[in-house]
Amino acid sequence: MHFRTALKLEFCRRSGRNPRYSLRAFARDIGSDHATLSQILRGRRSLSPRMVRHLGARLRLEPSIIADASAQQSAEAVLRLAQSPGFRVHSRWIATRTGLTVDAVNLAVHRLLHAGDLVMKSPTSWKTTRPHYA
Amino acid sequence: MPNPIVRWQIIAPEPARTAAFYRDVFGWELSAANSMGYRELRTGSESAAPVDGGVWPSPPGQPGFVQLFIEVADLDRCIAKANELGAKTLVPKSILPDGDSMAVLLDPTGISFGICRLAGKRPNPKGPGDVRGSV
């Protein structure tokens, strides 16, 4: 499950138990601010792996779920970059641009290849097969 | 054409530590100076066809394992034949920045292996290994 969906479901769960539970309260409870959380939930703001780890810990998700969600966000960051002009097929360059480690970039590349979201068509060209999530 | 094993790869939870360990124990040459930042381990074999290897990170929480890469003349045909015989494709044919081509498959018993076609003389698939199947 995408981490954004998990956030939405958790908010729905809490507001379902307490109709007066607001997004502002949810943001406060998970250590975020209302504006940022609102943008995240609406897909207007990307989730960094660091944010996923922070929010996941505040939501008390299983470490394995947080790790997987963080890896997924890394993959989204690589996919987003791969769709931008001037993209270079170079893990160190990708790492610098995304703020990820080279290992995290390579894991993300593997994840995208395995899912069929990325195709290494030539030594200098990678093709993405779906849009990235914000 | 023969289909030799030309490469091995360790999928490791702590790739830097793993690579350093084998470098230190066996005196192998370790280098990540390539476009994928791949930790290559050169064994120093004086064979005409040395079987060198490398270390690739495993996803968080998954155990490490060793993977073999077999050189084939035609990746597409090999993938089709393996799939006919019950394999699954984990990483489809991919052309790496150094020109080598590779794919990773899962055999019918659940063991993953790589196939590759080397662009140059250097036996170095240098790329994403399967990080799902565990031997």
Contact B57 A103 (CB under 8 A): yes
Identify whether A39 is part of a domain. yes
Number of domains in chain B: 1
State which of A43-47, A92-96, B45-49 shows the largest mean pLDDT: A92-96
Identify whether A41 is part of a domain. yes
Complex-level ipTM: 0.81
Span A23-41, pLDDT tens digits: 999 999 999 989 999 999 9
Neighbouring-strand partners of residue B11: B56, B65
Percent of chain B surpassing pLDDT 70: 87
Domain extent, residue B63, equals: 5-117
Span B76-129, pLDDT tens digits: 999 999 999 999 999 999 999 889 999 999 999 999 999 999 887 554 455 565
**How distant is the Cα of A54 from the closest Cα of chain B, in angstroms?**
17
Which residues of chain B does A122 touch, with a Cβ-Cβ cutoff of 8 Å? 95
Residue B33 confidence (pLDDT): 92
Residue among A67, A89, A121 minimizing CB distance to B35: A89
Residue A105, pLDDT > 60, answer yes
Identify whether A121 is part of a domain. yes
Kindly report the CATH number assigned to the domain that includes residue B53.
3.10.180.10
Identify whether A14 is part of a domain. yes
pLDDT top residue among B125 and A85: A85
With CA atoms as reference, the chain B residue closest to A74 would be: B59
Identify whether B123 is part of a domain. no
Residue A48 confidence (pLDDT): 84
| Strand pairing class (A118-122; A125-128) | antiparallel
Contact A102 B95 (CB under 8 A): no
Residue A108, pLDDT > 90, answer yes
Number of domains in chain A: 1
Residue B135 confidence (pLDDT): 31
Identify whether A110 is part of a domain. yes
Contact B128 A91 (CB under 8 A): no
Q: How far apart are the C-alpha atoms of A23 and A45, rounded to whole Å?
A: 16
Contact B112, B133 (CB under 8 A): yes
Residue A44 confidence (pLDDT): 86
Residue A55, pLDDT > 60, answer yes
CA neighbours within 13 Å on the CB side: how many for B52?
26
For CA atoms B72, B75, B80, B84, give the dihedral sign.
Answer: positive
Residue B45 confidence (pLDDT): 86
Contact B93, B79 (CB under 8 A): yes
**How distant is the Cα of B104 from the closest Cα of chain A, in angstroms?**
9
Number of helices and strands in chain B (H, E): 2, 8
Identify whether B59 is part of a domain. yes
Q: How far apart are the C-alpha atoms of A74 and A108, rounded to whole Å?
A: 6
Identify whether A115 is part of a domain. yes
- Residue B91 sits at φ, ψ, to 5 deg, of -120, 115
Domain extent, residue A121, equals: 3-128
Residue B126 confidence (pLDDT): 55
Contact B94 A120 (CB under 8 A): yes
Residue A127, pLDDT > 80, answer yes
Q: CB neighbours (10 Å) of residue B49? A: 11
Q: Write out chain A in H/E/C secondary structure.
A: CCHHHHHHHHHHHHHHHCCCCCHHHHHHHCCCCHHHHHHHHCCCCCCCHHHHHHHHHHCCCCHHHHHHHHHHHHHHHHHHHHCCCCCCCCHHHHHHHHCCCHHHHHHHHHHHHHHCCEEEEECCEEEECCCCCC
Please count the residue pairs, one from chain A and one from chain B, whose beta carbons lie less than 8 angstroms apart.
67
With CA atoms as reference, the chain A residue closest to B88 would be: A114
Mean pLDDT of B25-43: 95
Lookup: tokens for A4? 């954004």
Say whether residue B15 is in contact with chain A using an 8 A CB cutoff.
yes
Contact A102 B61 (CB under 8 A): no
A8 three-state secondary structure: helix
Residue B32 confidence (pLDDT): 95
Identify whether B131 is part of a domain. no
Mean pLDDT over the full length of chain A: 90
Identify whether A49 is part of a domain. yes
Residue B65 confidence (pLDDT): 96
Identify whether A134 is part of a domain. no
Contact A110 B129 (CB under 8 A): yes
Sequence-ordered list of residues with C-beta below 8 angstroms from that of A73, at least 6 positions apart, any chain: A3, A46, A47, A48, A49, A51, A52
Residue A70, pLDDT > 80, answer yes
The burial of B1, by beta-carbon neighbours within 10 Å (0-12 exposed, 13-18 middle, 19 or more buried), is given as exposed
Identify whether B99 is part of a domain. yes
> Which H helix or E strand runs over B115?
strand B112-117
Place of tokens 């996941």: A56
Q: How confident is the model at residue B62 (pLDDT cuts 50, 70, 90)?
A: confident
Residue among B57, B60, B92 minimizing CB distance to A106: B57
The answer to whether the predicted template modeling score (pTM) of the entire model surpasses 0.95 is: no
